[in-house]
Amino acid sequence: MLKYIKHHMETIAGIEIYPIISLLIFFSFFVVLFWWVFTAKKDYINRVSNLPLDNHQKDDIL
């Protein structure tokens, strides 16, 4: 079954760029996420982590 799919994919011109693009998008997303996690302010992380526990607080946190 896989050889039929592989054969059809080989006949499409320019298809070899799509795995590279998807890898770059995947890698860049996680690099940006990793950067955001380490540069986020400590008080923002504490406020967001306590949101599920603060049921009776009505002010806008975000």
What ranges do the domains of the chain cover? Answer: 1-32
In this predicted structure, what is the pLDDT of residue 29? 98
Structure tokens at 15: 């298809």
3-state SS assignment for residue 18? helix
What is the Cα–Cα distance from 46 to 54, expressed in whole angstroms?
12
Question: Could you say which DSSP state residue 40 is in?
Answer: S
Q: Would the pTM count as exceeding 0.85?
A: no
In this predicted structure, what is the pLDDT of residue 6? 72
In this predicted structure, what is the pLDDT of residue 31? 97
The pLDDT profile of the chain, 62 residues, written as one tens digit per residue, is: 667 777 777 788 888 898 899 999 999 999 999 999 999 999 988 888 888 776 665 555 55
Instruction: Write phi, then psi, for 57 (nearest 5 degrees).
Output: -90, 125
Instruction: Count the Cβ atoms, other than its own, within 10 Å of residue 47.
Output: 13
